């Protein structure tokens, strides 16, 4: 059996993620606790979700939106040119497929 978790464990993990555990007591891994991220968003989650890599749902939505942003071909060409790169109009894979 593993080490028994404590409120201090929750607080340390939150600090590692630039946040805080706002709860004042720890019952078990499945009890909802209050959390705050570095951007001061507050939410409730069980400690097992936080330990498994979960964090602020509001920041997660924002980060996914940024990752899914579509860029125009001209924007990408200009961005690449800053590094001396060239955007090819066609890409041919090693199998001869043209994308």
* 20-75 pLDDT tens trace: 999 999 999 999 999 999 999 999 999 999 999 999 999 988 888 777 777 777 88
pTM: 0.65
- What is the strand order of the sheet 42-46 is part of? 20-21, 32-36, 42-46
**Of 22 and 89, which is predicted with more confidence?**
22
Q: 3: which DSSP letter?
A: P
CB 42 within 8 A of CB 5: no
- What's the CA gap between 43 and 98, in Å, rounded? 47
The per-residue pLDDT for range 39-51, each reduced to its tens digit, is 999 999 999 999 9
22 φ, ψ (degrees, to nearest 5): -85, -15
Q: Backbone phi, then psi, for 43, in 5-degree steps?
A: -155, 170
| pLDDT for res 42 | 98
Residue 13: both structure tokens together: 């993990």
């Amino acid at each position: 059996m593993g080490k028994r978790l404590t409120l201090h464990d929750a607080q340390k993990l939150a600090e590692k993620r630039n946040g805080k555990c706002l709860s004042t007591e720890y019952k078990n891994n499945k009890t909802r606790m209050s959390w705050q991220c570095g951007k001061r968003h507050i939410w409730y989650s069980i400690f097992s979700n936080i330990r498994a890599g979960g964090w602020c749902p509001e920041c997660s939505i924002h980060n996914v939106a940024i990752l899914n942003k579509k860029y125009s071909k001209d924007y990408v060409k200009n961005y690449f040119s800053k590094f001396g790169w060239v955007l090819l109009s066609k890409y041919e894979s090693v199998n001869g497929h043209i994308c």
